[in-house]
Structure 1
């Protein structure tokens, strides 16, 4: 009997569980922590959550909702992490998912079996031994915001720095930084919000970024900024959309120079958006001092690319996360440069029965894409749709990466960046094409086709 293993009970694993349960696909979901929610569970005892005490979602409740269950109307526009967790718990309860989820169970190894299927090794918390189970398919859904990534190579002098240094994954409250001189390294959402929060009580706060980035306010023209994904602006060609968004930012936020920030050399759509109202206010007040990239550390100082030096007591590296799955052999999955060789960010072309969820990072919320992705995986498991040939999928991935390099900046973080609308359309096209293949109407594709267009659209 076919049975699927789902690894992780965060948003991706819950979406997969909801879809599989509704379609009567037999499965087990393993969660290393003692509760569901993944990174949204503050202090998650699986050690994989980097949520800090004051964190609120940087995208609106409407954009975060699964299509099958809206967030409550009573929620604020940008809910606190505790409310997001409550929503995920309600999602699991509403669809009866708890009976499929085994909490407190870590997957330590996933290996293909010669005769087909997968051998999954699990260890329950508190047990000294391990249990091995067989599955026909494995869905990897344990997220990509848990393995802290530090600058590589390390900043010269970092080992000799005499102050404290942590990754933002370990940041919880600003209390330890009261009265100190703090350097936050990075320019993503975490860096912006943590720097703004620390600056309220720190003696001085510096925000260092190697590259200039656009900082979005959370609200644009009285609406959540992420609602642009659904606006007419989003449907414009990129050569019109990018300058249009740049103009909108200029009108609503002003020029970066007003906040002491350098002007970015790429348009707003070339990077994952950094969203923070508080940072802009703290920059304008002088509570946060922007700095270029760190060149080196002394015992109690940091030297920057512009030649300046500042005394520093503590460093917070908000430098992102590595994409890694320690239970998989490198031959099955590796993303050393942030690039995933997955067809539609889901299927490794030459490894049957292995699927990945949540490795597509849109500029808006990922939640609305998870259920359609899970529906496609369920259809593949059921045999209702068929994939292109491995060679065709590999060619489609190569075409996608050529397009990706011309669209986004070439950094590790942006290896999984996608356009929300394009990816959603690509999934729809592929599911339609897959049904025709499964019925024998469409042969494996090698030229210009629906599959090619679907992959190129991402």
Structure 2
């Protein structure tokens, strides 16, 4: 549970853990701690919960997996929600989740740096307004903190609009325009679909091989089928079965310019984090020619692009569906637990705990299922330490309204 703070001075001691990030990952940890009677404080750089969902997603977005695979710990989605909840439904679920567990992040607090002080044995987390100290630090900023803008030669020369999907809302502003969409993941495919709704002509750049699977097969979630089969059969056999389903349902995607990787979809996801595309209609539009597939871009020109196969085309706009990255290296100091890319060095399921009271959540490359797994583990581990140092736990209701904050003047 978290509470808003009014700092009497620049240093604030937090009795429980400091959680950086008020997305689903941070909220999950706070809820699991609250359920065990352990207080926490969430620091959030924006003015809202789940800011990625609220501020950086397109209007037509829906969960790609069935809702029961995307539930946060301790609270199910409302029964009235559809199998694949919309963006607004997911946001309402997150807001209800925070209310249920009395989670009140400290908003508009950008963490400038966080480091462990070996002398005091405490984490010091500096924002623009204060320095928060605690025995525990939970990094919950996740894999998708900052948009990735690729270094494409000539991009700055282009005279038309260049938009990353983090700023894309709908295809209405691109109606009847020729649009270059760089990226063929789930976001790139869905943006192309959305553009077609507004009679735009999207050209989707496919730089690498990609697995495309049907989202559903005869009414059953393909992901759900895979999860069930993995309980009984080896991963490679399940991958082979998924590819048979994909070929039966979608046909040979190689002929559409979408080459499949040699490694199977689940094995590739586990090894690299590269998520297979779950098709919700883009393949049929590629087959009909409403979405054009192009090779990699060699260079952007003033009016369009040159491709590696020698072709050159004019475009009205460019949309970068090039994903996101972690921002942990920008603010977490002297941590050998993370790579230079801001991901835990230890792979799932062991990447949730570091040293000196450092924890991470939302970095599993396994979506909200991975988040829930990590959140429960973190809460259990911190609760064990809390009990040893604080004695019997108070009830969650008492803790939620009586968090003690100590303020220290700078010497």
TM-score, L = length of structure 2: 0.81
Aligned equivalent of 2:29: 16
Tell me if 1:166 matches 2:179. Answer: no
Aligned equivalent of 2:64: 58
Q: Tell me the matched-pair count.
A: 363
RMSD: 2.3
Aligned match of 2:247 in 246, 250, 253? Answer: 250
Q: Could you say if the C-alpha distance between residues 379 and 67 of structure 1 is closer, same or farther in structure 2, counting changes exceeding 3 Å? A: closer
Q: 1:335, CA displacement in angstroms?
A: 3.5
CA offset digits 1:216-266 (Å, max 9, x no partner): 222122112221243125642123122111111112222214645344443
Aligned equivalent of 1:199: 196
Q: Is the 8 A contact 2:343 2:363 kept in 1?
A: no
Q: 1:8, CA displacement in angstroms?
A: 1.4
Q: Could you say if the C-alpha distance between residues 85 and 314 of structure 1 is closer, same or farther in structure 2, counting changes exceeding 3 Å? A: same
Aligned match of 1:297 in 293, 297, 300? Answer: 300
Q: Is the 8 A contact 2:326 2:341 kept in 1?
A: no
Q: Give the SS at the match of 2:60.
A: coil
Deviates more, 1:256-265 or 1:110-119: 256-265
Q: Is the 8 A contact 2:22 2:50 kept in 1?
A: yes
- Give unmatched runs, 5+ long, in structure 1: 44-49, 124-129, 386-458
Q: Could you say if the C-alpha distance between residues 301 and 38 of structure 1 is closer, same or farther in structure 2, counting changes exceeding 3 Å? A: closer
Q: Is the 8 A contact 1:165 1:317 kept in 2?
A: yes
Q: 1:331, CA displacement in angstroms?
A: 4.5
Tell me if 1:314 matches 2:317. Answer: yes
Distance, in Å, in 1 between the alignment partners of 2:216 and 2:23 is: 27
Q: Could you say if the C-alpha distance between residues 352 and 237 of structure 1 is closer, same or farther in structure 2, counting changes exceeding 3 Å? A: same
Aligned equivalent of 1:378: 379
Q: Could you say if the C-alpha distance between residues 132 and 238 of structure 1 is closer, same or farther in structure 2, counting changes exceeding 3 Å? A: same
Q: Give the SS at the match of 2:331.
A: coil
Aligned match of 1:94 in 91, 95, 100? Answer: 100
Tell me if 1:132 matches 2:137. Answer: no
Q: Give the SS at the match of 2:281.
A: helix
Q: Could you say if the C-alpha distance between residues 379 and 198 of structure 1 is closer, same or farther in structure 2, counting changes exceeding 3 Å? A: same
Q: Could you say if the C-alpha distance between residues 94 and 140 of structure 1 is closer, same or farther in structure 2, counting changes exceeding 3 Å? A: same
Aligned equivalent of 2:91: 85
Distance, in Å, in 2 between the alignment partners of 1:160 and 1:273 is: 33
Q: Is the 8 A contact 1:221 1:252 kept in 2?
A: no
Distance, in Å, in 1 between the alignment partners of 2:251 and 2:199 is: 27
Q: Is the 8 A contact 1:216 1:277 kept in 2?
A: no
Distance, in Å, in 1 between the alignment partners of 2:74 and 2:370 is: 12
Q: Give the SS at the match of 2:80.
A: coil
Distance, in Å, in 1 between the alignment partners of 2:283 and 2:81 is: 25
Deviates more, 1:112-121 or 1:31-40: 31-40
Q: Is the 8 A contact 1:185 1:316 kept in 2?
A: yes
CA offset digits 1:131-150 (Å, max 9, x no partner): 12211111011222231112
Q: 1:77, CA displacement in angstroms?
A: 1.3
Distance, in Å, in 1 between the alignment partners of 2:73 and 2:19 is: 21
Distance, in Å, in 2 between the alignment partners of 1:97 and 1:337 is: 30
Q: Give the SS at the match of 2:184.
A: coil
Q: Could you say if the C-alpha distance between residues 35 and 301 of structure 1 is closer, same or farther in structure 2, counting changes exceeding 3 Å? A: closer
Distance, in Å, in 2 between the alignment partners of 1:336 and 1:177 is: 37
Distance, in Å, in 2 between the alignment partners of 1:301 and 1:265 is: 32
Aligned match of 1:356 in 337, 354, 360? Answer: 360
Q: Which has the higher contact order (CA 8 A, sep 6+)?
A: 2
Distance, in Å, in 2 between the alignment partners of 1:234 and 1:290 is: 37
Q: 1:279, CA displacement in angstroms?
A: 1.0
Distance, in Å, in 2 between the alignment partners of 1:104 and 1:338 is: 22
* 1:320-339 aligned within 5 A: 320-325=323-328, 326-329=330-333, 331=335, 334-337=338-341, 339=343
* 1:48-447 aligned within 5 A: 50-98=56-104, 101-115=105-119, 116-123=121-128, 130-151=129-150, 154-233=151-230, 235-257=232-254, 259=256, 261-269=258-266, 270=268, 271-325=274-328, 326-329=330-333, 331=335, 334-337=338-341, 339-342=343-346, 344-348=350-354, 351-362=355-366, 366-383=367-384
